[in-house]
């Protein structure tokens, strides 16, 4: 999970969210069941497109690249089932994979105890041991989020392991480059660019790269200096 920033609200919500909310609340206030159309207007293509852009096409929680395998679900950070007035609120919408969305469901009411990547830095709540994401000791939000969303489900572990092995391979190649200028270019273009927010599992990648490069730098410092030829 990485820190996310809320983009500008799409024009459709700026123009109609208040009207949609009023209609929904009035119907509920009369004890009537809203139609599927009245409940699902947040699924408008403009809204979905804006969410895809601000989440980099990834699940806001597990960081899986949604466009590779699914269309992705629009998730209500505060569940609409417990806060109908937030159904069309832009700040309450994000993009999630179907598994994280289903696991999250309406747990813990207003989700004060879960990690919200828009309002806190997930780095304060999670760390990695290999492909496993763990809560920082003492972080109850991290613990609850990892358990409820099942962030260590088997398919995620497998994908993260593949990412780690790819990084190890690239650092190994880097270590074999003798020319310092070439090594610098490869390090910048091949490795450091992989920590971009758009990359799948960017949080894991940053964590692993920092450790791998630190180990590489220490190993290079221990190597004996070459003796110049006379």
Q: Of the candidates 54, 77, 109, which is a domain's last residue?
A: 109
Examine residue 135 and state whether it is found in any structural domain, yes or no.
no
The answer to whether 126 and 133 have CB atoms below 8 angstroms apart is: yes
Predicted structure pTM score? 0.85
Query: d(Cα 110, Cα 48) in Å, to the nearest integer?
Result: 23
Structurally, how many domains does the chain consist of? 2
Give yes or no: residues 29 and 105 share one domain.
yes
Examine residue 185 and state whether it is found in any structural domain, yes or no.
yes
Query: d(Cα 160, Cα 130) in Å, to the nearest integer?
Result: 8
* Residue entry with tokens 């159309």: 37
Q: In tens digits, what is the pLDDT along the chain, a chain of 230 residues?
A: 999 999 999 999 999 999 999 999 999 999 999 999 999 999 999 999 999 999 999 999 999 998 655 678 899 998 888 889 999 999 999 999 999 999 988 775 555 688 999 999 999 999 999 999 999 999 999 999 999 999 999 999 999 999 999 888 888 888 888 888 887 887 777 666 667 888 899 999 988 888 887 887 777 666 655 444 44
Give yes or no: residues 20 and 87 share one domain.
yes
Q: Of the candidates 50, 74, 109, which is a domain's last residue?
A: 109
Give yes or no: residues 93 and 170 share one domain.
no
87: containing domain: 11-109
């Amino acid at each position: 999970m990485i820190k996310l920033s809320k983009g500008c609200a799409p024009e459709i919500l700026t123009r109609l969210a208040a009207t949609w909310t009023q209609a929904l609340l009035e119907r509920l206030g009369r004890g009537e069941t809203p139609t599927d159309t009245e409940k699902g207007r947040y699924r408008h293509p403009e809204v979905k497109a804006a969410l895809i852009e601000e989440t980099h096409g990834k699940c806001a929680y597990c960081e899986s690249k949604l466009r590779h395998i699914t269309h992705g679900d629009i998730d209500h950070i505060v569940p609409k089932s417990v806060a109908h007035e937030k159904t069309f609120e832009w700040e309450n919408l994000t993009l999630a994979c179907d598994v994280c969305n289903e696991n999250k469901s309406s747990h813990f009411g207003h989700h004060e105890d879960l990690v919200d990547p828009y309002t806190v830095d997930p780095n304060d709540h999670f760390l990695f041991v290999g492909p496993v994401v763990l809560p920082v000791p003492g972080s109850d939000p991290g613990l609850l989020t990892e358990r409820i969303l099942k962030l260590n489900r088997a398919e995620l572990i497998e994908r993260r392991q593949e990412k780690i092995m790819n990084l190890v391979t690239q650092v190994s190649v880097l270590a074999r480059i003798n020319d310092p200028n070439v090594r610098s270019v490869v390090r910048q273009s091949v490795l450091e660019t992989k920590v971009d927010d758009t990359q799948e599992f960017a949080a894991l990648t940053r964590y692993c790269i920092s450790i791998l490069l630190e180990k590489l730098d220490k190993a290079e410092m221990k190597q004996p200096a070459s003796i110049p030829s006379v």
